[in-house]
Structure 1
Amino acid sequence: MRLHVFQHIWFEDLGVIQDWAHDNGFNITRTVFYKNESLPDIDDIDWLIVLGGPMNIYEEDKYPWLKQEKQFIKKAIKEGKKVLGICLGAQLIADALGAKVFQCKDKEIGWFLVRFKNIKESSILKGIPKQVTAFHWHQDTFEIPADAVHLAQSDACYNQAFSYNCDKVIGFQFHFEFKQENIKRLLEQYSGKIDSGPYIQHFEGINSGCHNAVLNNDFMRIILSNLKGID
């Protein structure tokens, strides 16, 4: 199986997804947009993973490659590829499906409870508990696309996840893929640059919650295995 990754910034990588993909015999290729790398041929991939990043989906003047990325995501969905988007990646998928992406009332940064819903309607959530403390780092969010299933919500952000096309297309606003080292790297990049807010944890609180990443990674592996089992 061939898994292609869209990466937007150096410090947001595959995390535990890379471990799972290697364990399951996937060949991993990448388009690193901040290095102006080219897109693959759509016939050369089976899965597309769209990662997060600090940019917004509407900043095409600042990040011209966003236009090509959006077009490729639409094509991948249309051709029935398995597509998983995380944070910015989920917003890009929502946009590709015609849904609105907009700014939340409050930023959501830190460890906050996610409540899953419509579990019986989505095989992608098999083996996942009804609520999980997950890691968040975002301000924008998305509407649930037409014909998609709303999968999760939090107190700060009602639309946290969705699935589309019989669970072949998945969007998660939160970061099950981040290992502890991913989170620590993120904190290093944004040290002293984060405002306060009702859903913004101080960095000490985030660090003290990093043990949750181990369980989050287990859930990411379960979700990926569920996605692998979908025809």
Structure 2
Amino acid sequence: MCRPWAGDVLPRSLDDHDALLVLGGSMGPHDDERAPWLPAVRELLRLAVARDVPTLAVCLGMELLTVACGGEVRRAALPEVGLCELTPLQEATGDRLFGPLTHTGGRLRAVQWHWEETGTLPDGAVPLVTSERCAHQSYRIGTSVWGVQFHPGSWRTTSAPGEPRTSAHCAPSGSNPPVSWPRWLGRRQSCARCGVCSPSSGPRS
């Protein structure tokens, strides 16, 4: 895992990687002065799209993907914080990641923590999930690049001693994991994992 805020050097290409995972952070997708590694992350996302490298971009990661591919990110009229309901769109039924979730018969909920959102999708992006406050909760570019505004995964309410707070610690007290996410990244041999969230500040974007 690369932690650029701690001085880790991001890879310049994805030649030696089978997948890319970009996580959340408290900065916005245009905050290059505050986070000077963001241009390099956006370039990796552009490379992933060009080569259809399996990619999951989460929260700020999705916002960076949007900007990198020519879409627009704007300030959200109403931020989403906490456990929120999601609505899969028709296009999600045939999607490799979201298809199984559309047949559960129950409500889909996920942890949210963002003040900004994708306003205009990149050209060619397929919208997959929406919510009451955020039109674009998830989309796919090509066959293997996904952006999600929410935080999929396993959630805890507290950090272990000495462990930095990151996007994995945003769930409200007592909540369960919001979705059973396919373990597609676990099957990849090498994943370029970019954690862009500083441990001194919880994720917001």
Scaled to the shorter chain, the TM-score interval is 0.7 to 0.9
Q: Residues 139-188 of structure 1: CA distance to partner in whole angstroms, max 9, x if unpaired?
A: 1111222111100111111110001102x1000001112x232x434xx9
Q: Residue 155 of structure 2 corresponds to which residue in structure 1?
A: 180
RMSD (Å) for aligned C-alpha atoms:
2.4
Match 1:70 to one of 17, 22, 42: 42
> What's the TM-score, normalizing by structure 1?
0.68
Query: Post-superposition shift, 1:124?
Result: 2.4
Q: Residue 125 of structure 1 corresponds to which residue in structure 2?
A: 98
Give the letter for the 1:154 counterpart: S
Give the letter for the 1:61 counterpart: E
Match 1:49 to one of 15, 18, 21: 21
The count of corresponding residues between Structure 1 and Structure 2 is 174
Q: 1:189 to 1:75 in 2, by over 3 A?
A: closer
- The runs of 5 or more residues in structure 2 that have no matched partner are 189-205
Q: Residue 116 of structure 2 corresponds to which residue in structure 1?
A: 140
Give the letter for the 1:36 counterpart: G
**Distance across 2 between alignment mates of 1:37 and 1:108:** 30
**Distance across 2 between alignment mates of 1:94 and 1:161:** 11
> What's the TM-score, normalizing by structure 2?
0.76
Q: Which has the higher helix share?
A: 1
**Distance across 1 between alignment mates of 2:41 and 2:7:** 12
Query: Post-superposition shift, 1:94?
Result: 1.1
Alignment of 1:28-107 (within 5 A): 30-40=1-11, 41-107=13-79
Give the letter for the 1:89 counterpart: G
Q: Residues 106-164 of structure 1: CA distance to partner in whole angstroms, max 9, x if unpaired?
A: 11001110001112342322211364011101011112221111001111111100011
- The runs of 5 or more residues in structure 1 that have no matched partner are 1-29, 191-202
Q: Percent identity?
A: 23
